[in-house]
């Protein structure tokens, strides 16, 4: 094995050099001592009623012997298999959408040592620990009957002007907010009518993947922590976050979410102690991507959690959400930390679809716990003493950037409800540019603003031509205007005999009806691509969208290219071409069959 491993380190053929020529050696597993791994302190914000505590939950440790690894293109999988086998390392999961493996280390091999051994291999792109994330909430008095949602509206005007905004838009059931958290109490009286449901699974057979999305019994979402379809909240944090974003409004009970009608997709990766692993968070994001490709209109991912350790795999996963036009709303953190100097992830990743959120208090000051950053934190929202839903039809108030973050997610849902053709960038730009500038935030966050619902939902014509403008713009010629998202798509590598599907959104951003004359696939490899679903009719009214899902199913190896063609009455783009690309690949030397077992409760995409 020494010879094999050293040859891998040097990136040369095993038959050329012998490891005996070098002055160092690779220790065996028995040479490693069992690592001493102290327990991570339980988050101080936890307010957990004893009736929902799971007695099986245990504190996670920083080193629970799991790492994430991504190999470079054309990596020698036969050699990799031998190296991992010799070290006693198993492959636990594979995330196809970012091409990353989760490896389980043997008892005697510490995480740091395993990373050190693997990171210098010539064919490894990156390797990193399966880091632990914690919630971004703070502890508050246990006042169940606190009934004031000051952050939405108050007499001293330190709120986000929600009632004024609701006069224009209260939210659409067509917009889905993914809550990546401790799960959600999907039976809560003030949430159940807004919970996303997978109808085929809810009415299907137990233990069967009725809708073919690769997940069994995922009626209400997904539990990545336990790999099952029950994302029930056993902590309270996720339910609280979900209520802020989209509790049912105007129903005579409980509270009102920022968006009254948008759907909540519960995704659980954290346990009852408010701790969660990187790999489980990524699994939740993979679930989002796979369901968007199947036609679900998930537009926002809420992340009210984070930590100070970076991750290439997590960044890759959020990039994949960006490719699906999803806004990633992330908590800035609760340590009074300057994120410019000490980044807090995922909020501090330099990705265009991330909006990082700080917290304000009742006086419109930065909350005394909130992280900040003139260059890395984007906006602020109310986050101190926020009342919201809690498991068991209860209501409690909590504080933290965990609470400010779903205010922004709910606002994003309102903007998309009013303007379904907008991209994530459009929505992010509105949120950032239409807030209330506060002197208390000057020099602390990038926009120096706390969000404002009313201003963000102002009509376009009101913005461009206010009543007192002495020189109104000339009336524009009305016409249809097509927009397709994504504008091109690369399916990446797909195994011969398998298929991958992506959803395309066609929107009429013009002022007249868009007539769609025909939709089809054209090009040299057109037979490798197929339209598998289509919600578009002949006429598409202004501001409306429809969806087309296209499948790539390679029949042989090689790069395949084609165009998705849309013929319409758009005066500028009557023949719209959307480039499609994918590569058919043969199975990698039995590597996957060797490590993966059919007993796993999900299929790999």
Q: How far apart are CA 114 and CA 533, in angstroms?
A: 45
Q: How far apart are CA 159 and CA 152, in angstroms?
A: 5
Winning range, highest mean pLDDT, from 43-47, 49-53, 70-74, 436-440: 436-440
pLDDT > 60? residue 572 = yes
**Tell me, what's the pLDDT at 278?**
95
Q: How far apart are CA 68 and CA 313, in angstroms?
A: 7
Chain-centroid distance of CA 377 in Å reads 18
**Tell me, what's the pLDDT at 588?**
57
**Tell me, what's the pLDDT at 4?**
45
Please identify which of the residues 130, 159, 181, 233 carries the catalytic annotation: 181
H/E element holding 547? strand 545-552
Name the phi and psi angles at 81, rounded to 5. -60, -40
Residue 402 is a catalytic residue: yes
pLDDT tens, residue by residue, 6-55: 344 434 332 222 222 222 222 222 222 222 322 222 223 322 222 223 33
**Tell me, what's the pLDDT at 543?**
84
Q: How far apart are CA 427 and CA 175, in angstroms?
A: 13
85-99, 197-211, 465-479, 558-572: lowest mean pLDDT where? 465-479
Residue 237 is a catalytic residue: yes
Q: Global pTM?
A: 0.70
Compute the mean pLDDT over every residue in the chain, rounded to the nearest whole number: 82
pLDDT tens, residue by residue, 286-299: 999 999 988 899 99
pLDDT > 80? residue 359 = yes
Across 75-79, average pLDDT:
88
Across 313-321, average pLDDT:
96
**Tell me, what's the pLDDT at 43?**
29
Please identify which of the residues 348, 388, 402, 449 carries the catalytic annotation: 402
Across 95-124, average pLDDT:
91
**Tell me, what's the pLDDT at 153?**
77
pLDDT > 50? residue 605 = no
Q: Report domain extents, the chain.
A: 2-31+63-130, 135-464, 482-585
E-strand stretches of 309-351: 327-331
CB 474 within 8 A of CB 503: no
**Tell me, what's the pLDDT at 461?**
44
Q: For the domain covering 135-464, report its CATH number.
A: 3.40.50.200
Q: For the domain covering 482-585, report its CATH number.
A: 2.60.40.10
Q: How far apart are CA 14 and CA 11, in angstroms?
A: 9
Instruction: Please name the residue that has the structure tokens 């490896």.
Output: 103
Q: Domain spanning 2-31+63-130: which CATH class is it, in words?
A: alpha beta
Task: Retrieve residue 478's tokens.
Answer: 């009305």
Please identify which of the residues 237, 240, 261, 407 carries the catalytic annotation: 237
What percentage of the chain has pLDDT greater than the value 70? 81
**Tell me, what's the pLDDT at 143?**
29
pLDDT > 60? residue 431 = yes
pLDDT > 70? residue 424 = yes
């Amino acid at each position: 094995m020494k010879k094999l491993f050293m040859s891998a380190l040097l990136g040369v053929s095993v038959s050329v050099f012998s490891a005996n020529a070098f002055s160092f050696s690779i220790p065996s597993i028995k040479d490693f001592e069992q690592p001493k791994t102290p327990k991570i302190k339980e988050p101080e914000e936890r307010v957990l009623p004893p009736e929902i505590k799971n007695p099986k939950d245990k504190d996670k440790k920083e080193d629970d012997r799991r790492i994430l690894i991504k190999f470079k293109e054309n990596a020698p999988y036969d050699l990799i298999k031998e190296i991992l086998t010799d070290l006693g390392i198993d492959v636990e999961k594979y995330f196809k959408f970012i091409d990353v493996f989760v490896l389980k280390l043997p008892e005697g091999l510490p995480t740091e040592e395993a990373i050190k051994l693997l990171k210098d291999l010539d064919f490894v792109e990156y390797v990193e620990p399966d880091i632990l994330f914690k919630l971004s909430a703070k502890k508050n008095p246990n006042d169940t009957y606190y009934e004031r949602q000051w952050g939405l509206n108050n007499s001293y005007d330190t709120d986000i002007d929600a009632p004024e905004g609701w006069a224009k838009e209260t939210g659409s059931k067509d917009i889905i907010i993914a809550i990546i958290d401790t799960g959600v109490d999907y039976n809560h009286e003030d949430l159940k009518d807004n919970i996303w449901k997978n109808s085929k699974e809810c009415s299907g057979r137990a233990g069967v993947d009725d809708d073919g999305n690769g997940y069994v019994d995922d009626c209400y979402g997904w539990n990545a922590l336990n790999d099952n379809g029950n994302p029930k909240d056993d902590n309270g944090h996720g339910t609280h976050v979900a209520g802020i974003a989209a509790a049912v409004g105007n129903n005579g009970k409980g509270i009102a979410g920022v968006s009254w009608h948008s759907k909540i997709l519960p995704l659980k990766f954290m346990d009852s102690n408010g701790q969660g692993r990187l790999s489980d968070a990524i699994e939740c994001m993979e679930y989002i991507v796979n369901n968007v490709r199947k036609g679900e209109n998930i537009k926002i991912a809420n992340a009210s959690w984070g930590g100070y350790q970076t991750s290439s795999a997590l960044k890759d996963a959020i990039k994949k959400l960006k490719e699906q036009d999803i806004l990633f709303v992330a908590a800035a953190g609760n340590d009074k930390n300057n994120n410019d100097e000490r980044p807090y992830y995922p909020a501090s990743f330099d990705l265009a679809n991330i909006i990082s959120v700080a917290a304000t208090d009742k006086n419109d000051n930065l909350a005394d716990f909130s992280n900040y950053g003139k260059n890395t934190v984007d906006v602020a929202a109310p986050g101190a003493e926020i009342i919201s839903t809690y498991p068991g039809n209860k209501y409690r108030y909590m504080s933290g950037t965990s609470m400010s973050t779903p205010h922004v997610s709910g606002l994003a849902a309102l903007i998309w409800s009013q303007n379904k053709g907008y991209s994530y960038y459009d929505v992010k730009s509105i949120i950032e540019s239409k807030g209330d500038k506060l002197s208390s935030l000057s020099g602390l966050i990038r926009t120096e603003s706390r969000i404002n619902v009313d201003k963000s939902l102002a009509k376009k014509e009101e913005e461009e031509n206010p009543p007192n403008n002495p020189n109104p713009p000339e009336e524009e010629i009305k016409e249809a205007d097509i927009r397709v998202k994504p504008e091109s798509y690369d399916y990446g590598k797909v195994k011969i005999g398998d298929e991958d599907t992506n959803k395309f959104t066609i929107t009429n951003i013009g002022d007249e009806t868009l007539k769609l004359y025909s939709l089809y696939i054209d090009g040299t490899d057109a037979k490798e691509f197929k339209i598998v679903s289509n919600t578009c009719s002949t006429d598409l009214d202004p501001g409306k969208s429809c969806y087309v899902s296209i499948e790539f199913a390679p029949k042989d190896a090689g790069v395949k290219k084609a165009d998705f063609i849309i013929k319409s009455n758009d005066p500028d783009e009557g023949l719209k071409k959307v480039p499609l690309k994918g590569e058919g690949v043969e199975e990698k030397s039995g590597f996957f069959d060797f490590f993966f077992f059919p007993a796993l409760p999900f299929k790999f995409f």
